[in-house]
Chains A and B, each alone.
Chain A
Amino acid sequence: MELFFKRKGRRGFRRGAGSPTVREATLRGKRSLTVGFLTLVFTASFAPAQTNNIHERLENAATLIRENRIAEAEQRLNSILKLAPNEARALNLLGTVRAQQGRLNDAENLLTRAAKIDPAAVAVHMNLAFLYLLKKAPEKAISELKEVVSLEPHNIEANYKLARLLLSRGQTDETISVIEKMNSTPPASAVFLTLLGDAYFRKGNADKAEENYLLALAAQKNNAEAVLGLARVSQNRGDTKATLAYLSQARELAGNSPELLYKVGVAALGIGVWDDARLDLEQAVKLKPDEPGFLIALGAAWLKKPDLFAAEPIFRRALEIQPANAQAQMYLGYVLYKQKKLAEAKSYLEKSIRADSSAPEPFYYVGLIVQEENEDQRAVALLEKAIEVSPSFAQAHVALGASYLKLKDYPRAQRELEQGAKLNPDDSKAHYQLAVLYARLKDPQRAQAEMEIVEKLKTLEQSQKREGDTFVVMPAVPNPR
C-alpha cells in the first residue's frame, strides 16, 4: 500500500504482514485523533526476528491491534517486554497502542526508548513524527522526519510529509529545497511537482507555481490538484474566467472522488461561488458521510450563505463523529454564539481551547461571550490571551478596546482600538468604537471623523466582508484512506 514499505530502511524493520501503524491503530479507535493534513502511514515494521518465537508473538500482537483487541495485544507485548525489555519492535508496537489509548506521553516514552535502542529504525522515527503531530509539536515532527530522510534520502513518503509540514509552517524555501532534491532523481513526480507549485504559490511566485502545476499536469493529465493549483493562480491574477474554467475542469476530474470534490468545493468557496461550493461539498459528504473534515467545510459553506441554522447541525454531526475535533467545536461555538446561545457556545469554545490552545479564535469568542455577560475583567484576560497567541489579531485588539471602553479605562481602550484599526483599517467596529470613545472624551470632531470612516466602509460594503477577519483556521483535511 504505502510506498514507505516498499523501501525498507537500511536497518529498518521490515513490516510484518498485517502490522498496524499508529495512524491505523488510532483511527480505528473510538477516540479518533485527527492530525489534520498529514497522511500518516507509519508502521511497526519488523526486522528479522531475534527469535522466531518473539517474531511470531509480535506478529500476533500486531494482528490483535488490527482487530482492535487492544487489551490482548497489550498483554502480549508486555509479556514480550518482560522477556526482552529492550525489544525495540515491541516498544514500537506498544507505543502505537498507547497512542490509540490517548496516552500520548506514555507512547512518546516507549517510542523514544525504541529509537534509542535502534536509532536507525525508520518506522520508529515515522511513528514519533506522527505522535508529535498528535501532540501538536510540529517542530519535533519535522525533526523526526528529517531523521527518516537522513536514514533514507529517497524515502518518498517522509520527504513528502516533511515538505508538506514545512510548507504548512510557511517555510517555503526549505520546502522547495526538499522537493527539488527529490525531483533531482527523474522522473519528477506529479505529486511533488504539485506540491512545489503550492510552495511557489505560497512564496508569491505565481509564474513558477504555474510552471510546476503545468509540469505536474504533463506528468499526470488527470491531476485534479494541479488543475486546482492553476485555478488558484488564475484567481490570484484576477482572471475569473480562467479560474472558473479550471474549477470546472477540476470538478470533472474529481468525478466521484470525495476527497477531490472536497478540494474543489473548498476552492469554489475561495472563489466565492458559494452554491457550487456547497453542491461539491454536499456531494463529498454524500460519498463519505462520516468525514468530519468534509462536514466542517460544508458547514463553512452554509455560513457563507449565510445560514447559521443550516450550518449548526452539520457541525454537530462532525462532533458526533469526532467529539474531540477542536475545529468543529470552535465552528459550532461560533455558530451558537452568533445565535446568542451563549452558554452552549461557551461550552464548545472552551472545549476547543482545551483541545487546542494554540488557536486564538476560541479565546476571542469566549472573550466576546463573557463581554456580553458583562464580565469585562474576564473578557480582558481572554482577549489578551488571544492576542498573545496571535499578536496581529486585529479583532481581538478591537474587542479588548471595547472591554476597556466599558470599564471606562479610556487610555487602554484608545491604545487597543487604534492598534486594531491599524492592523485592519477596514474594520468598521474598530472605527465605531473609536468614535464612541472620542465622543465620550468630548472630541466630537475625531468622533465624527471615525463615523465617516464607518460610513465609508459601509458604502463600500467592506465592513461586512472584513468584520469576520478572525479565523485563521481551515476545515480539517479529511483522513486519508
Chain B
Amino acid sequence: MDLPRSGWKNYYQNLLKFIWHSLISVVGTFTYYYYRHLKLALALSSLIVNLPLITSAQAAKPYATFAEVPASKSGITWVHNNAHSSERYLPETVGAGCAFLDYDNDGWMDIYLVNSGPSDFYTPGTPLKNALYHNNHDGTFTDVTDKAGVAGGTFGMGVAVGDYDGDGWVDVYVTSYGRNILYHNNGNGRFTDVTDEAGVAAPGWSTCAVWFDYDNDGKLDLFVSSFVVYEKSLNILCTDETLSRRYYCVPRLFKPRASHLFHNDGNGKFTDVSKESGIADSPGKSFGAVATDVNNDGLMDLFVANDTMPNFLFINKGGGKFEEVGLAAGVAFSENGKPRSGMGVDAADYDGDGWQDLFVANIDREFFSLYHNQKDLTFTDEPGEIGTATQMLSGWGLRFFDYDNDGDPDLLLVNGHPDDFIEMRTTRVKYKEPLLMFENTGHAFKNVSAQSGAVFSKEFSGRGMATGDFDNDGDLDVLISNNGGPPLLLRNEGGNRNNWLGLHLVATKSNPAAVGAVITWQAGGVKRSRLKTAGGSYLASHDPRELLGLGPAKRIDSVEIRWPSGKVDKLTNPPINTYLKVIEGEGIARTSLTTAK
C-alpha cells in the first residue's frame, strides 16, 4: 500500500490561512561640480540682468541636477557633533537643524547651523558652537558666529528664522534639548539673546519651530514642537537579548508633551497661549511642523508630525482657537489605525487644484505619506512612486520646491536611520541613507534621483534640510545637516534653464514674513498659485524669497500678491529672471533687489 499520500490538504489550508493571517500586517538617491565663482553675479541693487538665452543642448537636458559644494570651496568647515555615547541618550540622534537666512540684508543667503552642547547627560570636551556663515557673494562663506554672538551653548536641535519685531532684520530662534534661545538681530551684524525677556525659553525638549501669524494681527507668533518628556535619569535601557549592545530607544517608551504656541504681544514679549488656544490639549511627541491653510479660510493651520503617536492637524478656528482634527481628516494614522514615526513634514498644492496638500516622512517600513486635500478637511494618502522608493528609508528633512522652475512644486527627501546600530539588526536598512528627488508630473511624483546628480548615489545621516538660492542664480539650492557629520551644501545646476521671477515680499501691514500670502502668476498661458507657508522640513528654516518658475515662457503675463492683510498688489509687466522686492500696498520697490546669474 504505497499510495502517495497528501492527506494534509485541510491542514495546509488552515496553516496557510494562519500564515496569511500574519502576513498583511507584517507586511504591519548631484553630480559634483565645483562651484564656479559667480563674480559677475553681484548684488546690484538696481540692475536687472536677464537670463542668457538657453541653448538647445541645455534645453534638451531633462532635469536640473545638484552638485556638492565641498567645504574646501565653500569654507564651511563646521561639523556637527552629535554627542554620541554608549548610553544612547535619545537627543543624540535627532539633531540637528540648519537655515538659509539673510541676517545682514545684503540680498544673499547666509547659513546657520545648529550644534549639540552641554546638557544633563553631556559635557563637551571642548566647547561646541552653532555656526553662522556669512555669504561672501562668490560661493564662499565666512564664519561670523562669534562676532554675531549666536554660538548657542545649549544642546541645540532646530532653528527658525523670522523678524518677530518687524524691524526689518531677521531674528533667530534656536530650539534645544533644554532651554531655547531667541536671538534678536541688532541690525549691525550682532545678535542679542532676548529669550528671557521675550518669554520663549520653553524648557524641556523642543524640536521644530515655526514663525507664523495665527491671528492675522500682523505680527509673527511662534509655534514650538515639543518632543517627549526626557531627562538623563529617564533614559531607558534598550538593548538586545544578550544585553551586550545598547540601542536608541523607540520614543514610544517616553511620555508625550504638549507643544507651545506663543502669541507675539508686539512689545518684544510673547504670551504662552498653548492652553487657551487648544494646542496644549494634544500632548504629542512632535517633530516637524508646517503652517499652512488647508481649508482656504485665510487662517493659518498647523500640521504637526508626531513620532509613534498620531499626527496633529490643528485647524485654526479664529479667535485664537485651534481644533485638532487629524483623525477625521485621515492624516493622523496609517490606514490601519497605527500611529507612525512622523518626522519631517511640508505642505504645498502639488496638483494645482487650489488646496494645500500635506506630506509626512516616517521611519522605515512605515511608508511616507502624501496626503491629497479633498477640499473638505479630509485627505487621501496618494504617495505613488514615493511609497515604493521610501519603503525602507527613514525621512527627516523634506521640502516641496520647484527645483527646475517649471512652475510646480517638486519634492526632495533627506533620509537616515536614527539608530547607528540598525545594520546589526537588519540587512535591509542602513544607518546612512540616500537622498531622493521627485519631479512633479502634474498629479503625482516621479523619482528622478538617478538623474539628479552623483550625490544621490551617496548615503548620509541626514536630518535638517533647508532650501535657498545662495548663489542668487535663480534656482533653489539645498543645505542639509547631517547628524554627527559635516553639512552638505548642494548647488542647483540647471534649474535656471527655465525662466523665473524671484519675489522678496516686504510686508507693511501683514506679518513681516508675509506668511499666508497667496501669489498668483500667469506665464505661457499657464496660471499658477502659491500659498506662502511657514516652517516645513525638519528643524530648518528656508530662504524667505519666493521663486516663481515660468518654464520656457519668456515673459510673465501677470503677478498678483494677495497679502494676509487682504491687500492685493498686482505687478504689471514685471521683468523676469531677477529678484524683485515687492512692498505690501506699493508693488515693486523702486530699489528692488536684483541679481543676475
Chain A interface residues (CB < 8 Å from chain B): 3, 36-39, 156-157, 160, 164, 167-168, 189-191, 194-195, 198, 201-202, 225, 228, 232, 263, 266-267, 269-270, 300, 303-304, 306-309, 334-335, 338-342, 372, 374, 395, 402, 406, 408, 428-429, 431-433, 435-436, 439-440, 447, 451, 454, 458, 463-475, 477, 480-481
In the complex the two chains form, what is the Cα distance from A3 to B14 in whole Å?
Answer: 30
The one of A37, A202, A432 that contacts B333, using a Cβ cutoff of 8 Å:
A432
In the complex the two chains form, what is the Cα distance from A157 to B13 in whole Å?
Answer: 22
In the complex the two chains form, what is the Cα distance from A435 to B330 in whole Å?
Answer: 10
Let me know if B22 and A304 touch, CB within 8 A. Answer: yes
**5 new A-B contacts at CB < 8 Å, known A304-B19, A465-B22, A473-B16:** A167-B9, A225-B7, A269-B15, A306-B22, A467-B25
CB-based closest 10 A-B pairs: A432-B337, A471-B20, A467-B25, A468-B24, A306-B26, A439-B328, A464-B25, A340-B387, A270-B15, A474-B16
The one of B7, B327, B378 that contacts A164, using a Cβ cutoff of 8 Å:
B7
Say yes or no: A202-B10 contact (C-beta < 8 A), given A463-B336, A469-B20, A473-B20.
Answer: yes
Residues on A with beta carbons closer than 8 Å to the beta carbon of B8? 198, 225, 228, 263, 266, 477
- Nearest-Cβ distance from residue A348 to partner chain B, whole angstroms: 15
Residues on A with beta carbons closer than 8 Å to the beta carbon of B378? 440
Tell yes or no: B61 within 8 A of A by CB. no
Q: Which residue from chain B places its CB closest to the CB of A1 in the assembled complex? A: B2
Let me know if B10 and A304 touch, CB within 8 A. Answer: no
In the complex the two chains form, what is the Cα distance from A334 to B9 in whole Å?
Answer: 22
In the complex the two chains form, what is the Cα distance from A340 to B49 in whole Å?
Answer: 47
Let me know if A300 and B388 touch, CB within 8 A. Answer: no
In the complex the two chains form, what is the Cα distance from A139 to B166 in whole Å?
Answer: 83
Tell yes or no: B127 within 8 A of A by CB. no
Say yes or no: A309-B428 contact (C-beta < 8 A), given A191-B5, A428-B337, A463-B28.
Answer: yes
The one of B9, B337, B387 that contacts A431, using a Cβ cutoff of 8 Å:
B337
Residues on B with beta carbons closer than 8 Å to the beta carbon of A477? 6, 8-9, 12
Residues on B with beta carbons closer than 8 Å to the beta carbon of A304? 19, 22-23, 26
**9 interchain pairs, CB-CB under 8 A:** A168-B9, A228-B8, A395-B24, A463-B336, A463-B338, A464-B25, A467-B21, A471-B19, A477-B9
Let me know if B1 and A190 touch, CB within 8 A. Answer: yes
Let me know if A191 and B1 touch, CB within 8 A. Answer: yes
Residues on B with beta carbons closer than 8 Å to the beta carbon of A191? 1, 3, 5, 7
Say yes or no: A306-B19 contact (C-beta < 8 A), given A3-B3, A160-B3, A458-B338.
Answer: no
Tell yes or no: B4 within 8 A of A by CB. yes
Let me know if A269 and B19 touch, CB within 8 A. Answer: yes
Chain B interface residues (CB < 8 Å from chain A): 1-28, 325, 327-328, 330, 333, 335-338, 367, 376, 378, 380, 382-383, 387-388, 391, 428
Let me know if A303 and B15 touch, CB within 8 A. Answer: no
Residues on A with beta carbons closer than 8 Å to the beta carbon of B18? 269-270
The one of B7, B13, B327 that contacts A474, using a Cβ cutoff of 8 Å:
B13
Let me know if A194 and B5 touch, CB within 8 A. Answer: yes
Say yes or no: A435-B26 contact (C-beta < 8 A), given A168-B10, A194-B7, A340-B391.
Answer: no
In the complex the two chains form, what is the Cα distance from A156 to B5 in whole Å?
Answer: 12
Residues on A with beta carbons closer than 8 Å to the beta carbon of B13? 168, 472-474
Residue among A36, A440, A458, A477 with most chain B CB within 10 A? A440
Q: Which residue from chain B places its CB closest to the CB of A441 in the assembled complex? A: B328
Let me know if B336 and A432 touch, CB within 8 A. Answer: yes
Residues on B with beta carbons closer than 8 Å to the beta carbon of A408? 376
Q: Which residue from chain B places its CB closest to the CB of A300 in the assembled complex? A: B19
Let me know if A195 and B5 touch, CB within 8 A. Answer: yes
Q: Which residue from chain A places its CB closest to the CB of B28 in the assembled complex? A: A464
Q: Which residue from chain A places its CB closest to the CB of B328 in the assembled complex? A: A439
Q: Which residue from chain B places its CB closest to the CB of A268 in the assembled complex? A: B15
Say yes or no: A429-B337 contact (C-beta < 8 A), given A267-B15, A270-B15, A471-B17.
Answer: yes
Let me know if A341 and B388 touch, CB within 8 A. Answer: yes
- Nearest-Cβ distance from residue B413 to partner chain A, whole angstroms: 15
- Nearest-Cβ distance from residue A190 to partner chain B, whole angstroms: 7
In the complex the two chains form, what is the Cα distance from A228 to B9 in whole Å?
Answer: 13
Let me know if A39 and B4 touch, CB within 8 A. Answer: yes
Residues on B with beta carbons closer than 8 Å to the beta carbon of A406? 380
Let me know if A467 and B336 touch, CB within 8 A. Answer: yes
- Nearest-Cβ distance from residue B368 to partner chain A, whole angstroms: 10
Let me know if A232 and B11 touch, CB within 8 A. Answer: yes
Residues on B with beta carbons closer than 8 Å to the beta carbon of A340? 367, 383, 387-388, 391
- Nearest-Cβ distance from residue B355 to partner chain A, whole angstroms: 15
In the complex the two chains form, what is the Cα distance from A471 to B20 in whole Å?
Answer: 5
The one of A270, A303, A480 that contacts B26, using a Cβ cutoff of 8 Å:
A303
Let me know if A338 and B27 touch, CB within 8 A. Answer: yes
Residues on B with beta carbons closer than 8 Å to the beta carbon of A306? 22-23, 26-27
Residues on B with beta carbons closer than 8 Å to the beta carbon of A309? 428
The one of A189, A395, A475 that contacts B16, using a Cβ cutoff of 8 Å:
A475
Let me know if B28 and A467 touch, CB within 8 A. Answer: yes
Residues on B with beta carbons closer than 8 Å to the beta carbon of A36? 9
- Nearest-Cβ distance from residue B5 to partner chain A, whole angstroms: 5
In the complex the two chains form, what is the Cα distance from A194 to B4 in whole Å?
Answer: 12
Say yes or no: A454-B337 contact (C-beta < 8 A), given A300-B16, A465-B22.
Answer: yes
Residue among B14, B15, B382 with most chain A CB within 10 A? B15
Residues on A with beta carbons closer than 8 Å to the beta carbon of B11? 198, 201, 228, 232, 266-267, 270
Let me know if B27 and A303 touch, CB within 8 A. Answer: yes
Q: Which residue from chain A places its CB closest to the CB of B3 in the assembled complex? A: A191
- Nearest-Cβ distance from residue B384 to partner chain A, whole angstroms: 8
Let me know if B327 and A439 touch, CB within 8 A. Answer: yes
Q: Which residue from chain A places its CB closest to the CB of B10 in the assembled complex? A: A202
Residues on A with beta carbons closer than 8 Å to the beta carbon of B380? 374, 406
Let me know if B25 and A466 touch, CB within 8 A. Answer: yes
Let me know if A468 and B21 touch, CB within 8 A. Answer: yes
In the complex the two chains form, what is the Cα distance from A200 to B19 in whole Å?
Answer: 23
In the complex the two chains form, what is the Cα distance from A269 to B16 in whole Å?
Answer: 8
The one of B1, B327, B382, B428 that contacts A374, using a Cβ cutoff of 8 Å:
B382
- Nearest-Cβ distance from residue A169 to partner chain B, whole angstroms: 10
Q: Which residue from chain A places its CB closest to the CB of B16 in the assembled complex? A: A474
In the complex the two chains form, what is the Cα distance from A232 to B27 in whole Å?
Answer: 27
- Nearest-Cβ distance from residue A118 to partner chain B, whole angstroms: 26
Q: Which residue from chain A places its CB closest to the CB of B443 in the assembled complex? A: A374
In the complex the two chains form, what is the Cα distance from A304 to B494 in whole Å?
Answer: 47
In the complex the two chains form, what is the Cα distance from A263 to B9 in whole Å?
Answer: 10
- Nearest-Cβ distance from residue B390 to partner chain A, whole angstroms: 9
Q: Which residue from chain B places its CB closest to the CB of A472 in the assembled complex? A: B17
Say yes or no: A451-B337 contact (C-beta < 8 A), given A39-B6, A340-B391, A480-B6.
Answer: yes
Let me know if B16 and A468 touch, CB within 8 A. Answer: no
- Nearest-Cβ distance from residue A386 to partner chain B, whole angstroms: 14
Residues on B with beta carbons closer than 8 Å to the beta carbon of A395? 24
Residues on B with beta carbons closer than 8 Å to the beta carbon of A464? 22, 25-26, 28
Residue among B14, B325, B336 with most chain A CB within 10 A? B336
Let me know if A465 and B9 touch, CB within 8 A. Answer: no
Q: Which residue from chain A places its CB closest to the CB of B18 in the assembled complex? A: A270
Let me know if A339 and B388 touch, CB within 8 A. Answer: yes
Q: Which residue from chain A places its CB closest to the CB of B5 in the assembled complex? A: A191
Let me know if A157 and B3 touch, CB within 8 A. Answer: yes
In the complex the two chains form, what is the Cα distance from A255 to B386 in whole Å?
Answer: 48
Q: Which residue from chain B places its CB closest to the CB of A165 in the assembled complex? A: B9
Let me know if A225 and B5 touch, CB within 8 A. Answer: yes
Say yes or no: A198-B10 contact (C-beta < 8 A), given A39-B3, A306-B26, A432-B333.
Answer: yes
Say yes or no: A447-B21 contact (C-beta < 8 A), given A39-B6, A190-B1, A474-B16.
Answer: no
In the complex the two chains form, what is the Cα distance from A340 to B391 in whole Å?
Answer: 8
Q: Which residue from chain B places its CB closest to the CB of A335 in the assembled complex? A: B27
In the complex the two chains form, what is the Cα distance from A470 to B16 in whole Å?
Answer: 10
Let me know if B26 and A468 touch, CB within 8 A. Answer: yes
Q: Which residue from chain A places its CB closest to the CB of B27 in the assembled complex? A: A338
In the complex the two chains form, what is the Cα distance from A232 to B327 in whole Å?
Answer: 43
Residue among B10, B333, B376 with most chain A CB within 10 A? B10
In the complex the two chains form, what is the Cα distance from A304 to B338 in whole Å?
Answer: 20
In the complex the two chains form, what is the Cα distance from A195 to B25 in whole Å?
Answer: 34
Say yes or no: A467-B24 contact (C-beta < 8 A), given A340-B388, A432-B333, A435-B327.
Answer: yes
